[in-house]
Structure 1
Amino acid sequence: MRVLPISFARYHQKVWGLPIARAVAVVALTAMAMPAAAQPHLPPPREIAPAPSPYPGFWDPKRRPERPDMSRLTQIRFMTETDYPPFNYADKEGHPVGFNVDLARLICEELKVTCTIQMRRFDTLVPALNENRGEAVIASIAVNAETRKVMDFTDPYYRVPARFVALKAVATPVLKPEQLEGKKIAVVGGSAHEAYLKTLFTEAQPVPYLTADATREAVRRGEADYAFGDGVALSFWINGTDSEGCCAFAGGPFFESQYFGEGVGIAVKKGNDTVRQALNYALFRLWEKGRFTDLWLRYFPVSPF
């Protein structure tokens, strides 16, 4: 069973040009709504403004990490999953490819260490890490209280924001809460997204659906005014063929960790600070140099941020 609180949605692929029949698997939060007593109190937003940048950058330039002692680190054996495109999957020849794989290679270039990448079933990754079959797992693992019990993590290198999407004719870059009053908002029933809507947008009219696909189709067909959900999944849908070019993001992203998670990090064995600090240093440097952004744009032409 996955340790990530996510599910997968696959689309017929005509966007990424990946050499696979069933193309893109995207991250979609399906955390169940918290009981009312457990819901954190958040002030209602004044407006849902655009993100300051379309690229992820969760590193503080004022907190520049020092290069760690690399004398004992001559190689990093990365492990990743076999079938989670576009983040990690096998090409026609069986070689590991994808966003996480390319990021691992960039990290090794930055650190100037030998790098190997092995693919495993997801349910074997944590045991393999604890058995010292590799030093790091880069497989889109969510950082949360449960995963921290069995692994340590780098700083998050991406997060999954929540976003509104609407027909292009009404999708505005700035979306004020009053614009949502009385509007039908398609959302997966029982999800963290539904809980967030009910807590912060009390004048809106959430319409629960069983699946994320159904929420998007509701907007495309005009059954709902907006859909609210996983920004990464929505970015793939907007840029794919299933949307038929109908829709666009409305307003900006939401990152409240109480609802939408703390982000995705690279996992290392508990207590392995040598590798963890080296990876944190490399991630910061790749972001600082713009190489992380270049990689992101290759895989996410419509940014979820």
Structure 2
Amino acid sequence: MKKLRTLAVSLVALGVMAGAALAKEWKVVRIGTEGAYPPFNYFDSSGKLQGFDIDIAKALCDKMKVKCVFVAQDWDGIIPGLLAKKYDAIVASMSITEERKKKVDFTDPYYRSPAIFVAPKNTDITDVSPKGMKGKVIGAQSSTIHANYLEDNYKDSTIKLYKTQDEVNADLAAGRLDAALADKLVLFEWLKTKDGQCCKFIGPDIKDPKWFGIGAGIAVRKEDQDLKQMLNKALKEILADGTYAKINKKYFPFSIY
């Protein structure tokens, strides 16, 4: 019995030691982002990453007392890049969905925004249901929840997918699309630009959690639960001390949390 007890204690000790060996001390956190989704993440004229996502990530890293290193990655490869350890977390306005949670884990949401259709100001579209959009050409960014929603529900429309949201907007402004579907906050910013003067919102906000999740979260690898906990703690801290509100106000005249 004594030998069994000693063996059990030894195994527990080994388990603790193994856990300690596996635990990572985070001094540098590599942040993956797209850099093509203004005002959330984009490159300015000097080639520097800017935007709401970038400012939030920097604030979180400050609270965690780690160095932030940003890595730009095309959207359609952003989750594979995380799994391949190209970076440690994705801060890129990624909606938390059940499908994505099969591959990665997420922090608490750090903002929420519905989807909405946008169309030329002279559009004849009054009904944005699948029936009302029958025969219409609708654009969206590929590998997004908006693309998934259109492909699942708008079978009688022609769905055109683009690498970036900027390309969707450009084709809409050029008259090559009847409408587009995207994040309302992103379209809100674009409609204020010179090119965006062509267009307007049509239809109601679309919030179905089956496709659009519960908000945008920070994606991490499933094994990095310590990093997830650090990010969640830091998020609570920037919400409590006014840092989040200050960043929010810089980009939007209303709260997006």
TM-score, length basis structure 1: 0.51
Residues 1:289 and 2:225 are matched in the alignment: no
Q: Secondary structure at the match of 1:132?
A: coil
Aligned partners of 2:255 and 2:159: how far apart in 1?
A: 26
Structure 1 residues 267, 301: closer, same or farther in 2, change over 3 A? same
Deviation at 1:95, TM superposition (A): 2.2
Residues 1:103 and 2:52 are matched in the alignment: no
Q: Secondary structure at the match of 1:285?
A: helix
Structure 1 residues 293, 304: closer, same or farther in 2, change over 3 A? closer
Corresponding position of 2:110: 157
Deviations 1:71-104 (A, max 9, x none): 8222211111132222222223322222111111
Aligned partners of 1:304 and 1:250: how far apart in 2?
A: 20
Task: Return the match for 1:280 from 216, 229, 232.
Answer: 232
Corresponding position of 2:220: 268
Deviations 1:159-218 (A, max 9, x none): 2225799xxxxxxxxxxxxxxxxxx4556737869x99xxxxxxxxxxx998998xx99x
Equivalent pair of 2:29/2:88 in contact (CA under 8 Å): yes
Residues 1:301 and 2:250 are matched in the alignment: no
Corresponding position of 2:65: 112
Residues 175-194 of structure 1 correspond to what in structure 2 (within 5 A)? 184-186=126-128, 189=133
Deviation at 1:231, TM superposition (A): 3.0
Structure 1 residues 292, 244: closer, same or farther in 2, change over 3 A? same
Aligned partners of 1:127 and 1:247: how far apart in 2?
A: 35
Count of residues paired in the alignment? 204
Task: Return the match for 1:86 from 30, 39, 59.
Answer: 39
Structure 1 residues 298, 273: closer, same or farther in 2, change over 3 A? same
Residues 28-67 of structure 1 correspond to what in structure 2 (within 5 A)? none
Aligned partners of 2:201 and 2:87: how far apart in 1?
A: 41
Structure 1 residues 111, 187: closer, same or farther in 2, change over 3 A? same
User: One-letter code of the match for 1:271?
Assistant: E
Aligned partners of 2:48 and 2:254: how far apart in 1?
A: 26
Q: Secondary structure at the match of 1:157?
A: coil
Task: Return the match for 2:74 from 116, 121, 125.
Answer: 121
Structure 1 residues 254, 119: closer, same or farther in 2, change over 3 A? closer
Q: Secondary structure at the match of 2:91?
A: strand
Corresponding position of 2:95: 142
User: One-letter code of the match for 2:100?
Assistant: T
Task: Return the match for 1:236 from 189, 194, 197.
Answer: 189
Structure 1 residues 248, 304: closer, same or farther in 2, change over 3 A? farther
Equivalent pair of 1:88/1:99 in contact (CA under 8 Å): yes
Equivalent pair of 1:82/1:90 in contact (CA under 8 Å): yes
Q: Secondary structure at the match of 2:185?
A: helix
Equivalent pair of 1:82/1:88 in contact (CA under 8 Å): yes
Corresponding position of 1:25: none
Aligned partners of 2:97 and 2:90: how far apart in 1?
A: 15
Corresponding position of 1:33: none
Aligned partners of 1:245 and 1:288: how far apart in 2?
A: 40
- Larger helix fraction of residues: 2
Structure 1 residues 284, 249: closer, same or farther in 2, change over 3 A? farther
Aligned partners of 1:275 and 1:102: how far apart in 2?
A: 18
